[in-house]
Structure 1
Amino acid sequence: MTEATQYVTLGVADSLFAVPVSRVQEILEPQPIARMPRAPEDFLGIIEVRGQSVPVIDLRLRLGMSPAEDTHDTRVIVLDVLMSGAMQKLALRADRVFEVAELDGPLEPPVKIGGRWGAECVAGVGRRNGAFATVFDLDRLFVSQDVAGVTAAA
């Protein structure tokens, strides 16, 4: 019998996403962020987490959505992400975090529609309470040079 994978489900705009709970270190309320000059648009800056500088990425901007102000529900999710062959701490700002749960049934592979849409940062699509939940491949979501360089500097 295989053990079911648990996910942290989170919301950005009207979309439901999920990340493996095994990669989540902490879920924090918004806090002051030290801005960095000439940083990529989705890189908000750095925060201190248990004495360590951790880069914060705005998930809305990373996904090509319009920016939004923090609300009462906004959360910062501190994750372990594989970058440049080593595990690094990275934080995501999301509109809200729902729960830690198993998805309803197995993951389906990301849809392939060809053309310009790349699904390489999607591990699969599941369902939770009747809604589609896109599961991120965290190591591929943050593979770009801009995030790798920022993490190395932090």
Structure 2
Amino acid sequence: MAEQTQYVTLGVAEELFAAPVEKVQEILDMRDIARLPQSPEALMGMIDVRGQGVPVVDLRLTLGLPGATDTENTRIIVLALAGEGRDRRLGLRADRVFEVTTLDDGALDPAPSVSGQWSGRCIAGIGRGNGRFVTVLDLERLLGDFEAATSQSA
């Protein structure tokens, strides 16, 4: 039997998203974030992770959702993203993190094809878990702009 991909499932607003577990380095409780002047709205700032500065992006704002105040469930997911010959680290602020899991039947459906402005470019696929749709994020595409902008300052 083929090995199934594992995902970290996370919640933003009422929606369920997933990130491939191999891209997740660690999951942190919310902490103070050093703001960066004149940065894009979704780029919250920088945190220190074992002596290394890691930029943090608000997933709500990146997905076009309204911002929200932190709760005891708010987490920062530290990701290792592939890019231009080396991996880069980036923090992703999510409302909550649920679990590490496989998706039902292991297969992803492609993002729906819809005409107009929306391309679904940041979606790696749609899966199902526990009877709910789970949107698997294409993290490199979703966060590529922030990765490029912050790699110059790192």
Q: Answer whether TM exceeds 0.5 for this pair.
A: yes
Backbone CA RMSD of aligned residues = 1.0
How many percent identity over aligned positions?
Answer: 54
The alignment's TM-score, normalised by the length of structure 1, stands at: 0.96
**Who is 1:128 aligned against?**
129
Q: What are the ranges of 5 or more consecutive residues in structure 2 without an aligned counterpart?
A: none
Number of aligned residues: 153
SS of the residue 1:44 aligns to: strand
Q: Give CA deviations for 1:74-106 in whole Å, capped at 9, x if unaligned.
A: 000000112334210000000000000001121
Match of 2:46 in 1: 46
Structure 2 residue 63 is the aligned partner of structure 1 residue 63 = yes
Contact 2:88 2:147 in 1 (8 A): no
Contact 1:56 1:90 in 2 (8 A): yes
Q: Distance in 2 between matches of 1:85 and 1:118?
A: 27
Instruction: Indicate the larger mover: 79-88 or 100-109.
Output: 79-88
Counterpart residue number, 1:84: 84
Structure 1 unaligned segments of length 5 or more: list them.
none
Q: 1:151 and 1:141 mapped to 2: Cα distance?
A: 15
Cα distance in 1 between the residues matched to 2:151 and 2:133? 31
Q: Does the CA contact (< 8 Å) of 2:36 and 2:45 recur in 1?
A: yes
Contact between 2:6 and 2:103, CA under 8 Å: does it hold in 1? yes
Deviation at 1:40, TM superposition (A): 0.3
Structure 2 counterparts to residues 5-154 of structure 1, below 5 A: 5-105=5-105, 106-144=107-145, 146-154=146-154
Structure 2 Cα separation of the partners of residues 75 and 151 of structure 1 = 22
Give the Cα–Cα distance (whole angstroms) in 1 for the partners of residues 151 and 69 of structure 2. 24
Q: In structure 2, how many angstroms separate the alpha carbons of the residues matched to 1:81 and 1:152?
A: 15
Q: 1:85 to 1:116 in 2, by over 3 A?
A: farther
* Equivalent pair of 1:54/1:151 in contact (CA under 8 Å): no
- Distance in 2 of aligned mates of 1:79 and 1:115: 31
